[in-house]
Amino acid sequence: MPQSADLVKDHARLFQEPEYQALFARKSEFECGPPAEEVARVAEWTKSWDYREKNFAREAVVINPAKACQPLGAVFAAAGFEKTLSFVHGSQGCVAYYRSHLSRHFKEPTSAVSSSMTEDAAVFGGLANMTEGLANAYALYKPGMIAVSTTCMAEVIGDDLFAFIKQSKDKGSVPQDFDVPFAHTPAFVGSHTTGYDNMIKGILHHFWGSRERVAGESINIIPGFDGYSVGNLRELKRVLDLMGVSYTILSDTSDIFDTPTDGHYRMYDGGTTLEAAKAALNAKATLSLQTACSAKTLPWVADKGQATQSFNYPLGVGATDEFLMAVSALTGKPIPEALEKERGRLVDAIADSAAYLHGKRFALFGDPDQAIGLTRFLLEVGAEPVHILATNGDKDWAARVGAILAASPYGKGGKAWAGKDLWHLRSLLDTEPVDFLIGSSYGKYLERDCKVPLIRVGFPIFDRHHHHRSPVFGYQGGINLLVKILDKILDEADRQSVAADGISFDLTR
Amino acid sequence: MNAMTKEDTRALIGEVLEAYPEKSRKKRAKHLGVYEEGKTDCGVKSNIKSIPGVMTVRGCSYAGSKGVVWGPIKDMLHISHGPVGCGQYSWSQRRNYATGTTGIDNFVTMQVTSDFQEKDVVFGGDKKLDKIIDELASLFPLSRGISIQSECPIGLIGDDIEAVSRRKAKDVGKTVVPVRCEGFRGVSQSLGHHIANDTVRDWVLEKAKVDFKDTPYDVAIIGDYNIGGDAWSSRILLEEMGLRVIAQWSGDGSLAEMEKTPKAKLNLLHCYRSMNYISRYMEEKHGIPWLEYNFFGPTQIAASLRKIAAHFDDTIKEGAERVIAKYQPMVDAIIAKYRPRLEGKTVMLYVGGLRPRHTVDAYGDIGMQAVGMGYEFAHNDDYQRTTHYLKDGTLIFDDASEYELEKFVQALKPDLVGSGIKEKYVFQKMGVPFRQMHSWDYSGPYHGYDGFAIFARDMDMAVNSPVWSLTKAPWKQG
């Protein structure tokens, strides 16, 4: 008998027991699957150049994409404002999905409500759902603001959020002066980064729309969709505080996705205050840390008279330098010696470990700006980014990555793949292998199938815990990232040396 | 132990309802109740539209079809037809274990989508779907079929996925199944189960030509999704008692198994809510009887094994007794180990359409009592099937909102809450132990005797974890 009270075996070990192995053999008789040799033959063929060509000839089907849809980004963006509840207008299943997706990554509750539209709303429109829904959400969850976005159902039938919110308020579902910013977030346009952009713009439009700007000295920072927002934003604030800069982060998700277990559930916690969001109109400048997450917002902000600048997920030495210098130039605040010392420590760490990084070939995938940040970092440490893929990247993104690669001797063999998915990446890894893969948890299938060790960086991380708590931004984040990469490289060196009869199983590396 | 009287519980429901605007309060009042001993149902309304804005826990038809019924069929490619999100969020989340080589003859953990763009919504997606099916046939030659899982836009833009399916099934020589499970249809996952069942009937069973040598002991497992291997730890018992399992629906299932099922002598239905439809169809069309069994916990497992055996001859009846006797020492040891640690503890359950009732006695086996129970998407017949599991005075909630759940837990103070990922962290923050009862919290299997050992271990590790004694800072205690 495989199971016992002394040692309870769960799925990880139970099904390895002979009783279950025999069960699998019995079951296969009824499955009528292909013979093992045929499976092996086809598996081998999928690794070939022939298969790669077929795979890249795809025009219609998308397989294992590394992107999500707009409303996810909108819900994430809205969560970073004080006491803000996301209200997603359309089918309710979508909201269940956004909530579970974010909760699986952050291991935190995610609050959002739906207008629960069904067949009748598809015919008559969802105004009644919005009116009733806003009233219920307001009464039950006592939010300070309700941020409305849309599922594709509401977009296909053409529901007009501006008119619906106005009519709902007229019917008394929420007070007239209650803040209900909105953004249309069709899932069939762009990705979650687009939805983030639209929601930030929607919220700023709501607060800034008709007001006159009185230019001040503060700066705004739009961090963008980021699975590391908890660690990253705390690090960003620490750095800006060290510089003595006056700033507003538009949207600060660092507390809502990191609430304590102390016997009290906080549905709302932290976030950018609504007062600060209003006052952000008067800022001197707005900086976006991810170009793809502010494509519409930044030009609109520039129209308001602010200086704007966007970055590509500032991690590593050079990108952090650029970001800090930009902040310094805008605010007139010098970069303090403490930060210069931190910079030196990151460079010191890279120097200590460069020998293990130099010339290692990497593939990486993720959101466009994060992919750029990681590419630059790999080049800085002497590694060679080979396949760089962003399912939600566009031609401009590919051109930017191309330029970065061309500027470094370590980038000569690299190529950016915009709009491709992880099934494409599988072919790339099979035909042009690399030493390591960087990406989200979805990369674990590639790790298994292409036998390339995965370094988990990105969103979502479902199968490792608490990574989001440590920053990857800035010099400190650079050290975290370096350690993460090195741990995998050195673990792999040990694993390989054990496989090679223990030769090179060095104590000191 | 919960000390609330029925009057207290009714008062609690009243208090919770107070927070709603009047119209919604009236609607929600019908879904909350207190079970009265001897009643034939639970006294709540069910399978009704969720109220907007209240944070229902429910999902949609697509989740019921792709996520539950069709997705686990391992040798078919399941296209999430529409925008990218639905397929992305449901990708590999239901832990439907399946043997085979991913991407070669097993496609369960792949996210295949038509990734609709604006032009597809404007001009329709049928041509794209046609091309997708060709591309899939070329890239995955060992796949046995394709299902098309419709997302919201499909039904709104007037695509004819049935016509595409008929045409492409001929072109590629494989089964192609169009499923109209758009998320706006119906009120929850439940209609998606039904729609998916109907497509199995129309596009698989009614088309299949099966050459198969049956035996008098052939049964099929229906409605086990093999979460963490549940169907395997169930199958092993059925095989040990002398039955031959010719099909698993749909965990670790294959198209060939589905097609053979009308040859079974008895359909064994675990998840009644999601697969009673196809079982009734096979009963009417092929004369195959079905029975709902429950493989959670030794009390129900033994009762179910005997109930199943009663449909067969003495060999099988003896086989059932042999299996029960074989596992009894292990069961006794598990209960001796865990029951003293859990005796008298209470649990509140809020899961889909089956597990609250199916797990109550398993909790009872380890000394725990359910003080509150609800379903996300059950129907009236589920509540009727629940009554004999219930204790007088149990709080019942249908399609509960997060607000209600939070208030109920605060008042009932259960020692454990069993629900889903969206609820998990809310209650853990409150210091209440929690287990995910959809995914088994990445553990399992929980079905069968082997699964019961894991179930007992997991509930103990949740309830008795030392972490719960740390939630209050010492200077705040007392």
CATH code, B61-186: 3.40.50.1980
Residue A20 is nearest to which of B58, B153, B232, comparing CB atoms?
B232
Instruction: Please list, residue by residue across B78-93, b when 16 or more beta carbons sit within 10 angstroms of its beta carbon and e when fewer do.
Output: bbbbbbbbbbbbbbbb
Q: Is B446 near chain A, with CB under 8 Å?
A: no
Q: Which residues of B touch A152 (CB under 8 A)?
A: 82-83, 85, 116, 121, 151-153
Tokens of A30: 């009824």
Per-residue pLDDT of chain A (509 residues; tens, 9 = 90+): 899 999 999 999 999 999 999 999 999 999 999 999 999 999 999 999 999 999 999 999 999 999 999 999 999 999 999 999 999 999 999 999 999 999 999 999 999 999 999 999 999 999 999 999 999 999 999 999 999 999 999 999 999 999 999 999 999 999 999 999 999 999 999 999 999 999 999 999 999 988 999 999 999 999 999 999 999 999 999 999 999 999 999 999 999 999 999 999 999 999 999 999 999 999 999 999 999 999 999 999 999 999 999 999 999 999 999 999 999 999 999 999 999 999 999 999 999 999 999 999 999 999 999 999 999 999 999 999 999 999 999 999 999 999 999 999 999 999 999 999 999 999 999 999 999 999 999 999 999 999 999 999 999 999 999 999 999 999 999 999 999 999 999 999 999 999 988 889 999 99
The pLDDT of residue B476 is 85
Q: How far apart are CA A342 and CA A351, in angstroms?
A: 14
Percent above pLDDT 90 for chain A: 99
pLDDT in tens, A427-446: 999 999 999 999 999 999 99
DSSP annotation string for B192-254: HHHHHHHHHIIIIITT--------TTEEEEEEE--BTTHHHHHHHHHHHTT-EEEEEEETT--
Active-site choice (B94, B357, B435, B438): B94
Identify the residue among B23, B48, B55 best suited for mutation to test binding to A, counting A beta carbons within 10 A and taking the highest: B55
The answer to whether the CB atoms of B425 and A107 lie below 8 A apart is: yes
Q: For B415, which DSSP code?
A: S
The CATH superfamily of B218-325 is Nitrogenase molybdenum iron protein domain (3.40.50.1980)
Looking at the complex, report in whole angstroms how far the Cα of residue B291 sits from the nearest Cα belonging to chain A. Answer: 22
Q: How far apart are CA B243 and CA B311, in angstroms?
A: 11
Residue of A nearest to B239 (CA): A23
Looking at the complex, report in whole angstroms how far the Cα of residue B43 sits from the nearest Cα belonging to chain A. Answer: 24
Q: Which residues of B touch A31 (CB under 8 A)?
A: 75, 254, 256-257
In the numeric block, the tokens 């106005």 are attached to A166
The pLDDT of residue B434 is 98
Size of interface A-B (CB pairs under 8 A): 355
The answer to whether the CB atoms of A122 and B90 lie below 8 A apart is: no
Please name which of A337, A338, A324 lies closest in space to residue A245, comparing C-alpha atoms. A324
Four-residue CA torsion sign, A144, A150, A154, A158: positive
Which residue(s) pair with B147 in the sheet?
A: B78, B177
The pLDDT of residue A174 is 98
Identify the residue among A6, A7, A9, A10 best suited for mutation to test binding to B, counting B beta carbons within 10 A and taking the highest: A10
Looking at the complex, report in whole angstroms how far the Cα of residue A3 sits from the nearest Cα belonging to chain B. Answer: 6
The pLDDT of residue B3 is 72
Q: Could you tell me if residue B96 is left (phi over 0), alpha (psi between -120 and 50 degrees) or otherwise beta? A: beta
Looking at the complex, report in whole angstroms how far the Cα of residue A333 sits from the nearest Cα belonging to chain B. Answer: 40
Q: How far apart are CA B184 and CA A456, in angstroms?
A: 36
Residue B403 is nearest to which of A2, A118, A141, comparing CB atoms?
A141
pLDDT in tens, A10-50: 999 999 999 999 999 999 999 999 999 999 999 999 999 99
Please name which of A101, A110, A352, A436 lies closest in space to residue A253, comparing C-alpha atoms. A110
CA distances from residue A354 to A315, A336, A382, A408 in whole angstroms, order as listed? 17, 27, 7, 16
Q: Which residues of B touch A26 (CB under 8 A)?
A: 239
Q: Which residues of B touch A93 (CB under 8 A)?
A: 58-63, 86, 183, 189
Q: What is the ipTM of this complex?
A: 0.98
Active-site choice (B63, B152, B271, B462): B63
Radius of gyration of chain A (CA): 25
State whether CATH 3.40.50.300 applies to domain B6-56+339-476.
no
The answer to whether the CB atoms of A96 and B59 lie below 8 A apart is: yes
Please name which of A176, A61, A130 lies closest in space to residue B146, comparing C-alpha atoms. A61
The pLDDT of residue A210 is 83
Q: How far apart are CA A152 and CA A189, in angstroms?
A: 10
Q: Residue A181 in 3-state DSSP?
A: coil
The answer to whether the CB atoms of B111 and A65 lie below 8 A apart is: yes
Residue B128 is nearest to which of A28, A31, A60, comparing CB atoms?
A60
Chain-centroid distance of CA A424 in Å reads 20
Q: Which residues of B touch A87 (CB under 8 A)?
A: 53
Looking at the complex, report in whole angstroms how far the Cα of residue B42 sits from the nearest Cα belonging to chain A. Answer: 25
Looking at the complex, report in whole angstroms how far the Cα of residue A129 sits from the nearest Cα belonging to chain B. Answer: 6
CA distances from residue B476 to A199, A260, B188, B470 in whole angstroms, order as listed? 40, 15, 43, 11
Instruction: Write down the domain spans for chain B.
Output: 6-56+339-476, 61-186, 218-325
Q: How far apart are CA A284 and CA A292, in angstroms?
A: 22
pLDDT in tens, B243-284: 999 999 999 999 999 999 999 999 999 999 999 999 999 999
The answer to whether the CB atoms of A153 and B19 lie below 8 A apart is: no
Q: For B106, which DSSP code?
A: B
Q: Which residues of A touch B27 (CB under 8 A)?
A: none
Enclosing H/E stretch for A204 = helix A192-208
CA distances from residue A31 to B118, B245, B249, B252 in whole angstroms, order as listed? 40, 11, 12, 9
Catalytic (active site) residue B60: yes
pLDDT in tens, A412-423: 999 999 999 999
Instruction: Please list, residue by residue across B442-458, b when 16 or more beta carbons sit within 10 angstroms of its beta carbon and e when fewer do.
Output: ebbbbbbbbbbbbbbbb
Catalytic (active site) residue B63: yes
Q: At what angle do helices A316-331 and A337-357 cross, to 10 degrees?
A: 160
Q: Which residues of B touch A151 (CB under 8 A)?
A: 152, 183
Q: Residue A182 in 3-state DSSP?
A: strand
Residue of B nearest to A156 (CA): B153
Per-residue pLDDT of chain B (478 residues; tens, 9 = 90+): 457 899 999 999 999 999 999 999 999 999 999 999 999 999 999 999 999 999 999 999 999 999 999 999 999 999 999 999 999 999 999 999 999 999 999 999 999 999 999 999 999 999 999 999 999 999 999 999 999 999 999 999 999 999 999 999 999 999 999 999 999 999 999 999 999 999 999 999 999 999 999 999 999 999 999 999 999 999 999 999 999 999 999 999 999 999 999 999 999 999 999 999 999 999 999 999 999 999 999 999 999 999 999 999 999 999 999 999 999 999 999 999 999 999 999 999 999 999 999 999 999 999 999 999 999 999 999 999 999 899 999 999 999 999 999 999 999 999 999 999 999 999 999 999 999 999 999 999 999 999 999 999 999 999 999 999 999 999 986 5
Contacts of A230 (CB under 8 A, 6+ apart): A106, A253, A254, A257, A258, A468, A469
Residue A43 is nearest to which of B20, B101, B403, comparing CB atoms?
B101
Residue A136 is nearest to which of B51, B151, B425, comparing CB atoms?
B51
Enclosing H/E stretch for A335 = none
Q: How far apart are CA B292 and CA B109, in angstroms?
A: 29
Please name which of B471, B83, B300, B267 lies closest in space to residue A191, comparing C-alpha atoms. B83
The pLDDT of residue B478 is 58
The answer to whether the CB atoms of A3 and B136 lie below 8 A apart is: no
Q: Is B469 near chain A, with CB under 8 Å?
A: no
Q: Which residues of A touch B52 (CB under 8 A)?
A: 113-117, 129-130, 132-133, 136
Identify the residue among A26, A140, A142, A184 best suited for mutation to test binding to B, counting B beta carbons within 10 A and taking the highest: A140
Matching fold, domains B6-56+339-476 and B61-186: yes
Q: Which residues of A touch B428 (CB under 8 A)?
A: 261
**Do residues A423 and A55 make contact, with C-beta atoms less than 8 angstroms apart?**
yes
The pLDDT of residue B2 is 55
Residue A20 is nearest to which of B51, B103, B236, comparing CB atoms?
B236
Q: How far apart are CA A356 and CA A354, in angstroms?
A: 5
